[in-house]
Amino acid sequence: MKMDKSSLDAECCALNTVLVEEKKGHLIPNGSAHQGANGTLTISAATGAMSAAQKKQALPERETWTRQMDFMMSCVGFAVGLGNVWRFPYLCYKNGGGVFLIPYVLFIFLGGIPIFFLEIALGQFMKAGSINVWNIAPLFKGLGFASMVIVFFCNTYYIMVLAWGFYYFIKSLSSTLPWSSCDNPWNTENCIVNFRHNECHNGTIGNSTFGNRTCEELANGRSPIIEFWENKVLNISDGLDEPGVINWELLLCLMAVWVMVYFCVWKGVKSTGKIVYVTATFPYVVLIILLVRGVTLPGAYDGIMYYVKPDWSKLGEAQVWIDAGTQIFFSYAIGLGALTALGSYNRFNNDCYKDAFVLAFINSGTSFFSGFVVFSILGFMASEQGVDISKVAESGPGLAFIAYPKAISMMPMAPVWAALFFIMLLLLGLDSQFVGVEGFVTGILDLFPGKYYMRYKREIAVAICCLLCFIIDLSMVTQGGMYVFQLFDYYSASGMTLLWQAFWECVVVAWVYGADRFMDDIARMIGYRPFPWMKWCWSFITPCVCMGIFLFHLLNYKPLTYNNVYVYPWWGEVIGWCLALSSMLCIPVSVVYKLSAAKGTFRERWENLTKPVWGAHHLEYMAPDTDIKSLASLSPGTEENKIL
């Protein structure tokens, strides 16, 4: 086999050796690579037809989306999740209604879109998952490992919400909803269906009894939905130190959801890209149906006005701005590495700049729209109970599994609406879950070079990932499972970890690799330079925003509690901080280790360790004699850009 050598300029040094195969008289890269020596690129070309053995050994090229809409729907499915439905409406209500949209929209352009675009563009340019994508500055490859740790923790605990939703869905397939009455084995003597708040508040009952209960006893009663949630679903213990027994019904639901996730992911983006057409679009259909139903209920107008009525005084509170910034990072799924993995399956010349704006609009638009759905029904619930909406407006699991099911139980044909709601909940979370698993598996598989290729490598990797997460999840289906769930939710993928990750992503791309240099790379891909605003955000604005919110969180840290009553023990907080630091320390520890292990002066070490390691596909787009515009006009696999 004859070896041909072609030297590239200094910009392209450290390019990888590209194995090529012969197709229709042309030699094209097949995705396998080994780094060349002395800054040269060595290409191995078969002079004749490949033998059967050679063809068998030829490694497959990296998958790409069947059509670009597959990528868009996958991003929508991943980024648009339960947080849009249960967190944004509550924050909007809590922080001044419509006024909250001012800092929210501002942070979209200061942090959300710039980093969203950065992660997608980086994945598309490097054609790699969340770890190998940082070959753009190998010294900071710890960023990739940090994102892998975060997304692994997310995959582990987020699926519990789906297990609870699936459990509620099964229980709603009955003529009477089990959380609508007090006649069940799990109910206590304090269970009350009708609290009669109006009569007690207006003094029409006074100190007289109603159903053998005084107004004081009614005030201390417990709703059947709360008892169903705490006594039946969670069967919650008294603390983190009392794990108790496993809830076998919940365990079966957890197994069923993990099986669904596995078969959504095991065949790669070709199958994932099709499934998201259902999981990403059907929740919108259900949201529209629920909105139509919600606005026709009594009290819906009051609920919507509570949601959007501006309270201008809130703009002067720092917490409002912090909540807005944190929500952007949560809802845009930034720092998890999954967006990078999704972008890596794009065609090299896909217009990811335009995609970033479209996806941001869909994400934030869904959040705002969901608020009308949620608060129209919460308004109805407040009207029925005769209490202020602030008493029923909750965030997180409290909204999804207490407030909303209770409102549904008050509607005619309640089981139908309950089933519809929990199908929506399941699908909203399912696509976020399996795209998160896809991102994790992609990062793991990218670590293995081509020589380790085997036919069922992806299927085995997905199975191991799902099984490992499932084993950890066993701690969350016990009586103390909710305490474990909150530990993961509060620490492992908290605002602090995501903000820390986003800060370093901006610093590495803008200051280590070079913002102008990356803008040139993007121009090679999409054919034009993005608006300079992106460069300014990566270099100055977004890192300052991230670090500012990060420090605010750190200075205003409060110990974790459950229901504002149970305070976690000190060792529980230690476990939580270990979860947080397990990802945050990946970055500084890996930098210190690589610098200390390298040879030469500090300057030489820095230059060698920050020199990009290019992939095989860059050969077609980074030739020294071709300008940026002409490079950007090429697309992989077309006749005009074959390597001869």
Would you say 481 is a known binding-site residue?
Answer: no
Q: Any idea what DSSP says for residue 186?
A: T
Q: H/E/C letters for each residue in 212-246?
A: CCCHHHHHCCECHHHHHHHHHHCCCCCCCCCCCCE
Residue 76, Cα to own-chain centre: how many angstroms? 10
Looking at 446-566, list the stretches that DSSP marks H as alpha helix, in order from N- to C-terminal side.
457-473, 481-487, 495-507, 515-526, 533-536, 542-555
SS3 641: helix
Q: Cβ distance 245 to 478 under 8 Å?
A: yes
Please tell me whether 398 is known to bind a ligand.
no
Contact predicate 104/327, CB 8 Å: yes
* Cβ proximity of 453 and 59 under 8 Å: yes
4 labelled binding-site residue: no
Enter the DSSP assignment of 133: G
Residue type at 601 in one-letter notation: T
Is there a binding annotation on residue 363? yes
Instruction: Tell whether residue 84 is among the known ligand binding residues.
Output: yes
Token pair for 500? 């820390």
Q: In what order do the strands lie in the sheet with 26-35?
A: 3-7, 40-44, 16-23, 26-35
Distance CA 89, CA 308 (A): 10
CA distance 385 to 379: 10
Q: Which residues contact 603 (CB under 8 A, 6 or more apart)?
A: none
End-to-end Cα separation, the chain, in angstroms? 16
Is the CB of residue 31 less than 8 Å from the CB of residue 59? yes
* Calpha distance 498→149 (Å, rounded): 11
- Distances from the Cα of 444 to the Cαs of 149, 410, 458, 461, in angstroms? 11, 48, 10, 8
7 is annotated as contributing to ligand binding: no
Residue type, 175: S
Dist. CA 340–CA 443, nearest whole Å: 9
- Comparing C-alpha atoms, which of 182, 30, 106, 164 is closest to residue 541? 106
Q: Write out the two tokens for 50.
A: 């490949």
Nearest Cα residue to 543 out of 553, 532, 551: 551
Q: CA 351, CA 372: separation in Å to the nearest integer?
A: 33
Q: Yes or no: say if 641 and 620 are a contact pair by the CB < 8 Å rule.
A: yes
> What CA–CA distance (Å, rounded) separates 122 from 334?
13
User: Is there a binding annotation on residue 395?
Assistant: no
> Is 79 marked as a binding-site residue?
yes
Residue ranges in 127-244 assigned as alpha helix (H)? 142-171, 197-202, 215-219, 224-227
**Total Cβ atoms within 10 A of residue 623:** 16
Count CA atoms closer than 13 A to 564's CA, side-chain side. Answer: 1
Does the annotation list 346 as a binding residue? no
Known binding residues are: 77, 79-80, 84, 331, 363, 428, 431-432
Known binding residues for Na(+) are: 77, 79-80, 84, 331, 363, 428, 431-432
